Chains A and B, each alone.
Chain A
């Protein structure tokens, strides 16, 4: 079993996807079967409630919070401070790293337990911890697996979705000594046993945050394994990394949002565990950390918010529903996308957070089928945003010159019907293989498919002669 792919960046998408399809067909099988299962569970869970209304409501709540972001973030800060939480504002990953380094050095931290957080992946927290001489331990089972494999997550909710049960059996056999034919329950039990030691040894727990209620200063987290509960309550110190777009106005909003997120993600009515964190252990309490830090992370979000069209992507609740239904994502899983966020949502937030130059060609990694928009719990118009980023690509002159000139010529032809029809006639008799050398579009087509067979005569000709 090998570690992460060699060229992990969005710019290598085409090569990485092709390599994955060619060299690791089992990835396509694992990802395809898991996403189809997730999606069918989602469909049943949506059908059990008036999901259309829920989704309208969730879109409005998140949209309202985003358009009043300053107000709610300030309110959240006041509430958090009142609850005894240390609040930090982080403009960039470097700011987050500094907060973590300060906590690590103030408390002499050696081991950190982490619950699954895509934001911590985005901020490369594990590499930072290691650079401080601290051992980070991922406690979500999927994250635990990929940490052992030294791979990045390939899915927002199921980070090890690209790995088969057989892969996990082999890995656990090698690392934890379980039998080669161990059942999934035995594998989970072995991980739980190993992790229990780490929970007890760790002085710092790092989590993300699904939502942050401004009025009560509550960080809300959903999960199914109980590892978030332990991460945020057993170690002496807890740091929650929360993207600024996660703030919602009221504690009451959490009820609907937590349920809708679970339905969208895994088809559950709600996660098996919901943690609502409102500060450190109070005097009369027996559990909980002595110190809680909430880091409010921007890292490109304000810039994305300023884009009149693309800002809608910030409503995302990271449920992964768009990945599960995406026929493009299903072929490769997330690694091909070369960054933390993959699938349709990755293709529209990466250009905002990384910059379009680094994110290309991800906005093109879609057939614009629109399935993602059918399922998004907060109704992000993903296909429209993909087109928006494609338009920005053209405006900034980042697409191939041949395509630019070709499209202009095509539009000019389309305004001159006689010429258009004549040109079409020529195309019908183009030898695609030969022409592919000059026209990359044809080349891309014939690489994987037979060239289309033109009709013997155009419809225009048939019409002229008369259709019986």
Chain B
């Protein structure tokens, strides 16, 4: 299994340790990992805010970067969703659409890849006796149909994934939405935080959601421990919070 890792903009700068843990996880399950250095942005911020020509440029760049990859894996549900479900909206010829579909068929969010392609059933014991809340990022959930995979993996490390009434409700990030309508966006995060049971970790496959929730929890001085899914799963393998990452 040759995996080209697409760390995404947020991953590169705000979740570097989690991305490194994604590399460790992928190697642990037998994948050969590469990091195509020309990768930049998938184009989602432009697409979601209505800047179609710019989104198209970023899509074409990304398609070029990953043209030869056997698998493209992202530690981000929403960027994977962009590539797999929304590039087809942007393609403007049959030829381009065919190339988009070809790339989409090789593109996976990390937990999805671990379960569906690498066939992981058991990762380790490192999360035994840990209570974990999993936040379903909207795009992983709806654009990719990823919902059981992360939970299965967390449980496979011994974690108790607890019930959370708002686990599938949007955190309020929404890219530029969070800055254009910050008051409503923050109220959405508040609902998530206010319904959160006591846990050892809150995790998600999406860095954007984690920035939103941790940024809001920080402002409200709520001591909630957030971890990116990749870091928590690697902790599940090795038993300690090896990366020391805060998110």
Could you list which residues of chain A lie within 8 angstroms of chain B, going by C-beta atoms?
13-14, 17-18, 21-22, 28, 32, 327-328, 330-332, 361, 364-371, 373-374, 384, 387, 389-394, 399, 403-404, 407-408, 410-411, 413-415, 417, 420-421, 424-425, 427-428, 440-445, 447-463, 467
Contact = CB atoms under 8 A, between A and B. Distances in A.
5 contacts: A387-B48, A391-B52, A414-B57, A450-B215, A456-B16
Nearest to B170: A369
Contacts of A22: 183
Interface of B: 7, 9, 11-17, 19-20, 23-24, 35, 37-41, 43, 45-55, 57-58, 61, 89, 138-139, 142-143, 169-170, 172-189, 191, 211-212, 214-216, 218-219, 245-247
A393 B178 contact: no
B174 A449 contact: no
Contact of A442 (B143, B179, B212): B179
Most chain B CB within a 10 A radius of its CB, from A28, A425, A453, A459? A459
By Cβ-Cβ distance, the 9 closest A-B pairs, closest first, are A367-B174, A390-B50, A449-B215, A444-B179, A455-B16, A450-B218, A448-B186, A369-B170, A411-B54
Contacts of A369: 138, 142, 170, 174
Contact of A467 (B23, B245, B246): B23
Given A414-B43, A414-B58, A455-B15, A327 B169 contact: yes
A459 B19 contact: yes
A408 B170 contact: no
B39 A445 contact: no
A428 B13 contact: yes
Contacts of A390: 48-50
Given A415-B40, A420-B40, A455-B16, A367 B24 contact: no
A414 B35 contact: no
Given A367-B138, A367-B173, A370-B138, A447 B50 contact: no
A282 B54 CA distance: 64
Contact of B180 (A364, A374, A442, A460): A364
Nearest to B48: A368
Contacts of B7: 459
A411 B58 contact: yes
Contact of A444 (B52, B138, B172, B182): B182
B215 to A, nearest CB: 3
Contacts of A414: 40-41, 43, 57-58, 61
A18 B7 CA distance: 35
Given A449-B218, A455-B16, A444 B54 contact: no
Contacts of A331: 184, 187-188, 191
B182 A448 contact: yes
Contact of A417 (B11, B38, B142): B38
A314 to B, nearest CB: 21
A460 B174 contact: no
A407 to B, nearest CB: 4
Nearest to A363: B50
Per DSSP, chain B at the interface is helix
Given A14-B183, A384-B89, A449-B215, A411 B142 contact: no
Contacts of A367: 138, 170, 172-175, 177-178, 185, 188
B48 to A, nearest CB: 6
Contacts of B172: 327, 367
A391 B41 CA distance: 19
Contacts of B187: 21, 28, 331-332
A403 B16 contact: no
B53 to A, nearest CB: 8
A450 B246 CA distance: 14
A454 B15 CA distance: 8
A136 B22 CA distance: 65
B13 A448 contact: no
A115 B201 CA distance: 51
A449 B35 contact: no
Contacts of B174: 366-369
A441 B176 contact: yes
Nearest to A403: B49
Contacts of B48: 368, 387, 390
Contact of A407 (B16, B51, B216, B246): B51
A327 B188 contact: yes
Most chain B CB within a 10 A radius of its CB, from A332, A443, A462? A462
Contact of A374 (B53, B61, B142, B212): B142
Most chain A CB within a 10 A radius of its CB, from B13, B24, B54, B142? B13
Contacts of B51: 391, 394, 404, 407, 411
A229 B182 CA distance: 45
Contact of B184 (A328, A420, A445, A467): A328
A423 B143 CA distance: 30
A73 to B, nearest CB: 32
A327 B9 contact: no
Most chain B CB within a 10 A radius of its CB, from A331, A373, A374, A421? A331
Nearest to A393: B50
Contacts of A403: 49
B181 A449 contact: no
Contact of B61 (A365, A415, A440, A449): A415
A389 B50 CA distance: 8
A151 B98 CA distance: 53
Contacts of B23: 463, 467
B200 to A, nearest CB: 20
Nearest to A447: B182
Given A328-B184, A403-B49, A417-B40, A445 B179 contact: yes
B58 to A, nearest CB: 5
B46 A410 contact: yes
Most chain B CB within a 10 A radius of its CB, from A389, A427, A453? A453
Contacts of A460: 12, 35, 37
Contacts of B38: 417
A140 to B, nearest CB: 28
B62 to A, nearest CB: 8
Nearest to A18: B183
Contacts of B219: 448-450
B17 A17 contact: no
